Structure 1
Amino acid sequence: LGNTIILDNGASSLKIGKVDSQISIYPNSIFRSKSERRKNFVSNQIDGCKDYSSLFYVLPFQKGYLVNWDVQRQVWDHVFGKDVLNLKCNESNIVITEPHFNFGSIQEAMNEIFFEEYEFQSILRTNASTLSSHKYNNDNPGEECCVVVDCGYSFTHIVPYHKNVKVSEAVCRIDVGGKLLTNHLKEVISYRQLQVMDETYVMNQVKEDACYVSMDFNGDMETCKLKGKDNIVLRDYVLPDYTQIKRGYIKVGYTTPTKSQEQMIRLTVERFAVPEILFHPSDVGIPQMGLAEAIMHSVSKCSEDTQPHMLRNIVLTGGSCKFLNFKQRLEEDLRRLAPDHLDICLTMPENPVTYACEGGLRWTKTNTIREHWLTLEEYQEGGQAACARQFYDI
């Protein structure tokens, strides 16, 4: 299976891995820029855009599921095409990820596009967390269980595995992901300081640069009430103007605004209140469990003899895990909820975004993957029924 690519098809970005090469990340979107009206930027063409203000996003995913096929096809065509990967699809195999609880109609359309239009030699359709589980088990021989926590763009999924097989009845979903956090930050800043509802791109950078997970929420709230230099949470964020300042940044030290051309927003409570939604979705009116409760709930649905092993092997993946203190806070919350005699151990990979893709590349080098492939001939013979049989719950 030499010519195999892994396509971790996320709602925010495509992570693509080829055997023996670096994993690449491309935006899964088409952008329209206010300053360059007539031009569409497909995926990584956005790097050539000069002005990221008021970027309009056209996304193939809505609420975590692939619904806009025209946009997704344009992104795939661009990424597979000669400008980016220069992929000969009819000589390649592909492992492609899909969200949990995906709809049958979406699965059928994917099978059709990859077999009939791109004509890949063989396909394996699975979930990103399954690929993560393979990587984790490879890195930790002797462990048969793990819980993959995938904090993605649209959702957060908690998926337990036993011997690389998903425990389907224990899969848990929280309707909070990176998109909701960025949108909430936009609303708070627009309400308090500056109208930024159209500035998704910039506010996403603000979230990544300035937000962190609080280890003492009430203490941090008290700190935010202090004036001047005593308020150690306060940060001034200089917004880009795309002439002098190409990317926003946090201003060092406590300052009073001086240069009039610098447009700044002052961040205090938002810095930790936005990521807090992952731990308490009810803060923004989502009547669901927070991360720690959801993990305990998910583990409780697994067979009793595997539960201690599950709690000892929790692996954190997805872009929203990258907040400062994320792992420590989750560990603390879990420790409070779990029985005292059970160990809790969380693993934060070096790069939680590409972890699933790395797992896919590792899996393609083993023999166990062979039984999961579906070839073009088998598809032509058995059609959608063959896909439904082959990709059932892997």
Structure 2
Amino acid sequence: MNNDFESKQEINNIFLLDLGSSLTKIGFSSNIYPSIICDSSYGIPRIHDAGNNLEKTQKIYCEDLNNSTISIKRINLFTYSQPNNLESIFEFVEHLFNKMSLPTKNEGLIIAYSNEWSNFFLYQLQAFLFQRFNFSSILPIKTDFLSLISHKVKTGVVLDIGHSYSRVIQFDKGKPLTTAGFKTNVAGKLIQDYLIKLYNNSHPYLQSPIFEPLISSIIREKCLLTFDIDKLLSDQYLDEIISEEIEISQFKEILMLGIEKYLAPEVLFHPKLANSKNLSVDSLIIQSLKECHLSLRSKVYSNIILAGGGCAFKNFKERLLSIFSKIPMLANSNILIHFDPSLTVWKGMLVAANSNYYGKNAQTQNQFFAKL
């Protein structure tokens, strides 16, 4: 590894902010885990509730959003990683920092940002954070690069399965080989939509946005991948699947979770199950391999880094290994995955913050505003 990631930096403490399209994480470089993990969304009461003293325009964030006892309308801050409303995002970020210990003298900030963000939005966000919280310095870093350095490698391929899309980007010595990378809409949202579709007949109300937390928790905590989808769908195997009971408290009903817990994540490898014509995640890597320069293939594809909550399903890595074992150029690839791949970007921020990389690349307030 380059010395950038080995030497300690001099900033007293560094705040870390990961504004994902589905989840937001915020915390300190001195902590292994984020202090706050919450939905990248907010809620507005559908009707005025005098007992709760809520106005229709009042925004509800974080744990208050999931614990609310009144009817609310959820509004996502991002659509396919693009910011929907700058003012709402700034209010959301301010709410998060107010829940933390506010920055003091000589404290810096790392912002993990999506390749989809416009330069205008990134600039506006930095200007707001400098002015509102008086950070001594700020360093924006792309999420793909953070995923790469989370494993302390600088050459490899990152497969990031997010909420809106999955993306593959190739790196050689820390530099991306393509700006756009390779994308498919086969990702978390497709899994979510397909699981809801599987219950269309028995529980049609699950399509309502108020059940998003329930659907997300089922996917995150109950779903897993099988090694043989054909065997899974055979009559003999279907009889062996033990269904779990999931309580739907709003309707005092029970949702039976059986084969659905296997079928939902299977769309990552068989998108046709959900009537999607997009590339599967394994095909996305294979397609990117074909378009990589022949002289770089063996080096770049020596490491495949898995990132994002979509990689967290049990047996996901093993499924990829099974598929890639039949492809000579990928058979010996080192597939790298953290215990919780949804924290891959976070771990990359820790590497950057607790090294000389931050001091070498961060901009101070004076440097930032001097460009105006």
Contact 2:82 2:116 in 1 (8 A): no
Contact 2:24 2:37 in 1 (8 A): yes
Alpha-carbon distance in 2 for matches of 1:154, 1:89: 36
Alpha-carbon distance in 2 for matches of 1:61, 1:89: 29
Paired position in structure 2 for 1:31:
43
Contact 1:34 1:55 in 2 (8 A): yes
Contact 1:64 1:155 in 2 (8 A): no
- Partner-residue secondary structure (3-state), 1:160: strand
- Partner-residue secondary structure (3-state), 1:30: strand
Q: Does 1:45 align with 2:64?
A: yes
Paired position in structure 2 for 1:233:
241
Which residue, out of 292, 298, 310, partners 2:300?
Answer: 310
- Partner-residue secondary structure (3-state), 2:30: coil
Paired position in structure 1 for 2:221:
209
Task: Give the Å deviation of 1:46.
Answer: 3.9
Aligned partner letter, 1:159: I
Alpha-carbon distance in 2 for matches of 1:283, 1:305: 37
Paired position in structure 1 for 2:12:
2
Task: Give the Å deviation of 1:122.
Answer: 1.8
- Partner-residue secondary structure (3-state), 1:71: helix
Q: Does 1:59 align with 2:70?
A: no
Aligned partner letter, 1:294: L
Q: 1:18 to 1:107 in 2, by over 3 A?
A: same
Contact 2:289 2:297 in 1 (8 A): yes
Q: Does 1:76 align with 2:76?
A: no
What runs of 5+ residues in structure 1 fail to find an aligned partner? 138-142, 243-260, 384-394
Paired position in structure 1 for 2:263:
273
- Partner-residue secondary structure (3-state), 1:148: strand
Question: For 1:120-159, what aligned pairs fall within 5 Å after superposition?
Answer: 120-137=135-152, 144-159=154-169
Question: For 1:167-186, what aligned pairs fall within 5 Å after superposition?
Answer: 167-169=177-179, 171-186=181-196
Aligned partner letter, 2:266: E
After superposition, give the CA deviation of every residue in 1:243-270 in whole Å (9 maximum; x if it has no partner). Answer: xxxxxxxxxxxxxxxxxx9621223442
What runs of 5+ residues in structure 2 fail to find an aligned partner? 1-10
Paired position in structure 2 for 1:249:
none
- Tell me the TM-score normalised to structure 1 length: 0.79
Question: For 1:254-333, what aligned pairs fall within 5 Å after superposition?
Answer: 263-333=253-323
Contact 2:138 2:362 in 1 (8 A): yes
Which residue, out of 341, 346, 349, partners 1:352?
Answer: 341
Q: 1:64 to 1:76 in 2, by over 3 A?
A: same
Contact 1:2 1:19 in 2 (8 A): no
After superposition, give the CA deviation of every residue in 1:312-347 in whole Å (9 maximum; x if it has no partner). Answer: 3112111111112111112212223x2268413312
**May I ask how many residue pairs the two structures share in their alignment?**
351
After superposition, give the CA deviation of every residue in 1:99-157 in whole Å (9 maximum; x if it has no partner). Answer: 123223323332332234444322212211211211212xxxxx652212111122211
- Partner-residue secondary structure (3-state), 2:201: helix
Alpha-carbon distance in 2 for matches of 1:293, 1:106: 32
- Partner-residue secondary structure (3-state), 1:45: helix
Task: Give the Å deviation of 1:36.
Answer: 9.3
Paired position in structure 2 for 1:160:
170
Aligned partner letter, 1:188: L
What's the Cα RMSD here? 2.8
